[in-house]
Chain A
Amino acid sequence: MLLDKSILELLTGYKNKSIDPVDVINEAYGQIDKYSSKLNTLITVRDKQEVLDFLKTLDSSLPLYGLPYILKDSYATTELRTTCASKILDNYLSPYDATVHKKLKEAGAILIGKGNQDAWGHGASTENSDYGMGKNPWDPTRVVGGSSGGPAAAVATRMCAFAIGEDTGGSIRNPAAWNNISGLRVTYGRVSRYGCVAYASSMDTVGPFGKTAADLAIILKVIAGPDVYDGTSAPHEVPDYNLELTKTPNKLKIGIAPEMFGAGLDQEISNNAQDFASKLAELGHQLIDISLPVAEISDAAYYILAPSETSSNLGRYDGIRYGNTRDLFTQESMRRIMVGTYELSSGYYDAFYRKALKIRTLLIKTFQKAFEQCDVILLPENPIMPPKLGDLISDPLANMLADLYNTPVSLIGSPSLVIPSGFHKNGLPIGVQLVGKKFSESLLLGLGHQYQQVTEWHTRSPQL
């Protein structure tokens, strides 16, 4: 398939006329027609003729010329409705574009659809969607992961050249691992959140999904940078991530914390991460023991702060200026809103919300200490393999534990790259997390690229 090719190969092919972007777009629509409604991958698909007409208007020298992409349905777009997978926004057509969408459009990429997700980002499975439970392309009886499950599956099934997810407590990382693709949670503030439906504003981040770390580098360069419409966007200069890929040294110190490989972690996932570490050692990197006794407290603190923030953020959906009435929230969203309301109420604020804010300081200090000893921290991604559809939906505890290795990174604002690292004996893919200091995306992508140069896990796609 043309869409098995990397972004660089596609762009080079467009330039030397060996590949016609029309063929790539046709191929993407072919995959959408075949699999999207079967797997509940996309919520809304753009009219193909409109896309092909738009392609004709584009300047072929643009950096992402002609590349078809999928956005998580949490991004405001003027071309397609934005539901955030909730019937509350079933017919909502935004009068403005999210900054990430605007930047991609201006770079020549073409939006072709909006991906399924847990409504409002509430979940780690895409089961809590009002548009059908997202199914895993590697085994459709299992969850696709989430909350950005649709965009992740769209990359895995070659419905697009790349996709944009949103990660608050693991929503890019979890489905990247369960779909055998690469995904990047960026440093908080690296990419503008303007036009992204807010879940927990102090942790929401906008990031790319792709087939390789190199693909992510190309996309990140386009979407990163300060934005006057987002006061939390970072003023830091945007490096040429693609050029930096090959500059990453092969003598990095890789920190591994035994506490992060304890109870609750699937044994094969644990072994897989160890194998991954050995491969990095073969490449010349040095493995270092560090201490990070933070998984449980992070997850608990996250599940105080995120519901508190979401109870406030979702207060705006009153059905007056836009959208439908609040009875249409899913049970999962109602639980989170009410938990947050309780934690922020007088008498409980100190015990829950303020306590969690202090835990956040403790985490930042613990990670600072760890980063004095190493450049990158290797963590498992998911503690378990994707459950059967419906299993997580009625089990809030299991749902929260799915984010065990994700939430520490979310709370400290660091970037984290997830890349494919092998397969479980049940045939499903496994991924690992590479976590760095703030604004170390170049280093993480470079390390991921080194690994992908000598392995082939990332080249496999699901046999549908």
Chain B
Amino acid sequence: MTENKTYRITLRPTHAELRAAAGTPLRDVLFEQGVEFPCGGQGRCRGCRVRVMEGTAGINPAQRERLSSEEIEAGWRLACQCTVESDLVIELLQWDAAILVDDTVFAFQPRSGLGVAVDLGTTTLVAQLLDLSTGRVLAVRTALNGQARFGADVMSRIQFGVADGGQRQLTEMIRRQIGGLIEQLLFAASLTCAEIADIVLVGNTVMHHLFCGFDVAPLSHYPFESERTGLARLGARELGWKFAGDPPVRFLPCLGGFVGSDVLAGIMATKLAESQNVQGLVDLGTNGEIVIGNRERMLCASTAAGPAFEGARISMGMRAATGAISEVTAEEGKLHCHVVGNAAPRGLCGSGLVDAVATGLELEVIQPSGRLAGGDAQWMLAPPVALTQSDVRELQLAKAAIAAGLRILLERWGNPELHRLYLAGAFGNYINRASARRIGLIDFPSEKVEAAGNTALLGAKLALFSLDGEDGSFQEVRRRIEHVSLNEDARFQDVFVEELTFPQSVHARD
């Protein structure tokens, strides 16, 4: 029977050996291996390119549109458009993601039992198992959010959710995946049958709604507000999880618009809500999130930065993995590129992109307008990796979204002096602060800017200790945070256009 025929698939460079039934979408096979599909597997981008080294994979019009004839000839395919029709040896362009976990030491009130903290990100999931009496992390598990195969960003996730049966599918998928992660945590800590006292999740509003099973339709259009943003209390059993003691599960409350409890958790983790001085918190993701404030008053907003910081839509963009140029500097006009793993350069990751443009501005290879000097189509960094004119344009869009959001929030607050700016998330850890300033992304002196790590996860862990017993510090802080809807600000688009250009020179402002 041909339907039951299975084929062997070997991946390079990971050497993973898999089997899949004839006709299985390559997307499903590779997703399990951590390959991402930036456009949701619709053949609209080139993010899931793979090279077929042995075997055959069909070509279709969507691939002809995205791949050159030389690439097709060389075996390159869009994985999302292929099915398994023979034994295959495939070279992956993407590598395993490095997901940021949190190992910060924090103060807490001991309580008994085990707790689980989950950072439910649009792209990545991180779960930690804690001994609540000692605060010790007993196990950590990370994974890519399984929903990502239906769209990389929150808007495409919503689009899938509002289609027939889509919401249910996404809800069931994420509940199953997180339940599985928690099982793995218990297994890893050799506590398979132990009771869990408390499970806390944080995530943006869309992740909150999809996990809790709340309708995402209100988030699909202006004014992008849902009414069901409060602290959600669920039971393990109603989520289909079979853990001893049926522990309570809480998804922390959203802040408004797309800004969710991951930002609330970040505010708790950085103690921004206790600060006398005005501080800021920025998460440089596809959906950039910004908080400005102190213990008196806090403003938060989200701004669509697009995926440039993650290397998507950049011609030679890739994640911060082996072969990625992660740092670019110049000495006496000569370029130096640092490549992750000291391997041959293969692409450019987010931090390398920001460095490259900052260096290009200093060398006057790139004009403040973003134009490559001399009208060149590209600037060679380290062969074969080059920065193209359209790459600079993509970064300009991402940079302007964040910088305009920051400027408007600061203006709304009354232009206070900012004493500290925390950068949350993985990208905040890697980005060179001087470069971020040179391109006008984070226009503050380096000594005021601090990489704060995975503040969402740290905040979720703090909630395991402070949420119980309704002392409610999280709820109380939430009431002091005001959500600003940037798309309703009449000035946003003007400021955005102003911020599209790069600063002339950074020295002038010091």
Bind each other: no
A contact residues vs B (CB 8 Å cutoff): none
B contact residues vs A (CB 8 Å cutoff): none
